[in-house]
Amino acid sequence: MVPTKALGIDIGGTSTKLGLVNKTGELLRFTSFPSRAQEDFKFFLEDLKSVTEDFLNEDKVIGVGIGAPDASPLDGTMSRPANFKWGEKVHLVDGISKVLNQKAFLTNDANAAALGEWYFGAAKGMTDFVVITLGTGVGSGFISNGRLLWGKRGMAGEFGHIVTKPNGRDCSCGHRGCLEMYASARGIRQTVLEFLAESEAPSSLRGYDLKNMSVRKIEKAARAGDLFALKTFEKTGHILGSKLADLIALFDLEAVILSGGVSRAGQLLLKPTLESMEAWTFPAFRGNTKLLLSEMENANAAVLGAAALVFNELE
Ligand SMILES: [Zn+2]
């Protein structure tokens, strides 16, 4: 018997990545093409059709999973996607299932990350965990009681926009003090700049502003012992860990898995996060939740996660 395969598509503002994935998480074929997000949606569909033609000629492709920003999984659309000129409501599932003649399923990137981790990564065999995506934004995808948690409108898991500091930093959502403003790449950059402004002590991180500072620079400085950089990871971890403790109290989690670009800081972030998570966890739950790093290769995680969505929906 030929094992089943799914096509995973990760639609980004610049490029679209896609790959054919089997149930053990092998990426059998992979390609990418420009999304043409500033042009008409029909050009995207035409390009997608021609790029995937010989992928879909293979045996046993059972469906197409789509990961996209601003996704509304229940009606299969992207709603007012910030970096796309494809319209207010883009009918992704309709459009893609028609041009590819395949069943198609849609989710946001955080749910795709959770499914990828569940099928192929650090959460294999678990029934209750959360994947936190730490990148430009902060998101989360929950598996609870062995099922992906969708919520009423398919939008559950906006972890980045829970209030962390009432009246804190302005958030792009219009509120103040959201977690995203502290634990995203941007939040971390802002934290280090605030620490630098409070003191005149020398640091290799002086001379940068919010635009040209980067988490990688802060990480490098921290590894070289820079106190401002170390304090930044500590503060970030303390804030993040306390909010993870809230999630543990609500969902009785087996594991919390950190993924996304910021998580590549590894132990620098993991250690203070774990300390704070343990300290704030409801005492009856303490010591029962692992804090792990993603086991997905960053470059392919979104494609693998989108493919896992197909297995999750059809099998
Ligand atoms: Zn917000």
Q: Is the pLDDT of residue 82 over 80?
A: no
CA of 96 to the centre of ligand 1 (A): 31
Q: Is the pLDDT of residue 252 over 90?
A: yes
**Domain extent listing, the chain:** 5-115+299-314, 126-293
pLDDT of res. 100:
96
Closest of 134, 137, 148, 145 to residue 106, by C-alpha: 148
CA of 219 to the centre of ligand 1 (A): 25
Per residue in 114-125, pLDDT tens? 999 999 999 999
Task: Categorize the per-residue pLDDT at 2 as very low, low, confident or very high, splitting at 50, 70 and 90.
Answer: low
Per residue in 181-201, pLDDT tens? 999 999 999 999 999 999 999
Write out the two tokens for 235.
Answer: 């503060």
What percentage of the chain exceeds 70 in pLDDT?
A: 99
Residue 240 and residue 153: Cα distance in Å, rounded? 26
pLDDT of res. 126:
98
Q: Which CATH code, of 3.20.20.80, 3.40.640.10, 3.30.420.40, 3.40.50.970, is assigned to 126-293? A: 3.30.420.40
Please give the mean pLDDT across all residues of the chain. 94
Mean pLDDT on 270-285: 97
Q: What is the pTM of this model?
A: 0.91
* DSSP calls for 75-115: TTEEES-TT--S-SEEEHHHHHHHHHTS-EEEE-HHHHHHH
What percentage of the chain exceeds 90 in pLDDT?
A: 85
Is beta strand 290-293 parallel, antiparallel or unpaired with respect to 255-259?
parallel
Phi (first) and psi of residue 298, to 5 degrees: -50, -45
Task: Categorize the per-residue pLDDT at 13 as very low, low, confident or very high, splitting at 50, 70 and 90.
Answer: confident
Whether 5-115+299-314 and 126-293 share one fold: the answer is yes
Domain covering 5-115+299-314 assigned CATH 3.30.420.40 in the classification:
yes
- Residue keyed to tokens 């996304």: 260
CA of 19 to the centre of ligand 1 (A): 32
CA of 175 to the centre of ligand 1 (A): 5
pLDDT of res. 140:
96
